Amino acid sequence: MTATPFLAAMSILTRSNIAPMFDPAEFVRIGTDTITPLAWASVLVFIAYLAGVISLRRRRKKWNAASSISFLLGCAVWFFVTGTSMNGFADSLVSVLIFQQLTLLVFVPPLLLMGSPGRLLLKAMPHTGLGGSILRAALGAYRSRTAYVLLHPIMVIVVPLIFFPALYFTDAISLVLALPGGHAMLLTTILVFGTIAAAPLWARDPLPRTPSYAVRLVEVFVEIQIHALFGLILILGDGDLFSWYSGDPSGWDLTRAADESIGGTLAWSYGEIPLLIVLAVTLSKWRNRDMKTASRRQEAEDAELDEYNAYLAAQARAEERRPSTR
């Protein structure tokens, strides 16, 4: 599924004149003019996480290094897409904006969630003073009706529907980008709701509600179809879908249709990689659970059979010891 759109994007780049003039370093330049408040938020979040890990180490409490690495990678990717010069290119290239959205929706949340920030908060935060107040607030939010509603399985489907087909094909994306700070608000909202939607699929922390394996498979399958349909429409489009991105992007020697095709290719390939991983992991966990259940059931049945056989043997011995009435 992912090979065809990837090859299509490479073909588009080859046919255009963007390749000779394209300097990858321009997309990852970091400076005072590129770091946004959302990028600074990724730094603050990681510092808070690191402080929690250090606090546990000082108290000689163990913490999984893999969780720390996962959270670090999540914050690094979060910073990469919101704190480099790439952020500025999103104003003229819809493909860059789609790359940002996909990264914050399907790549960053899993990495953050696998870092188990909830468990770290409970273990590292002091239970008195300000720490106690923070813990009570966190537990209150965790047990709230709002959290229960937001973690409904339907959110996994609703969130990508809103942030891709609904946002783009109604051209609401142009209205959002026209607002002062609209781009930053959009990316922030995507990151927040992307994390909420990803929690039932990726979180290692306990949640107020957890969907069954069957429901998870349905969610992932539907989201894959959303990305595929969205990407296909962009790939086949004629370049005039969005008023904000009207006309060919200046300075790129690239048509708007090619730009949209690259964005569609990303949605159809890059955006589906985490979903395919979830699909494979969910199937594997479901199979393992069923095998363990079947094994426990077989052990119970064998124990019952052994008990019944022992009963029959005891009855037979009793019959043998019973004196004859003849």
pLDDT at 5: 45
Give the span between the Cα atoms of 326 and 321, in whole angstroms: 15
Q: What is the pTM of this model?
A: 0.77
Beta strands in 101-209 (DSSP E): none
Chain length of the chain: 326
Q: Which amino acid is at 257?
A: A
Q: How far is CA 199 from the centre of its chain?
A: 7
pLDDT at 296: 66
Tokens for 202, please give them.
Answer: 């990726």
pLDDT tens per residue across span 9-46: 444 444 444 444 456 667 677 877 788 999 999 999 99
Q: How many CA atoms lie within 13 Å of 222's alpha carbon, on the beta-carbon side?
A: 15
Tokens for 39, please give them.
Answer: 């990028």
Q: How far is CA 53 from the centre of its chain?
A: 23
pLDDT at 221: 84
Q: Which of 65, 205, 56 is closest to 126 using CA atoms?
A: 56
pLDDT at 292: 65
Tokens for 161, please give them.
Answer: 């529907």
pLDDT at 37: 93
Q: Which residues of the chain have pLDDT under 70?
A: 1-25, 27, 239, 289-306, 308-326
pLDDT at 324: 55
Whether residue 96 contacts residue 49, with contact meaning beta carbons closer than 8 Å, is answered with no
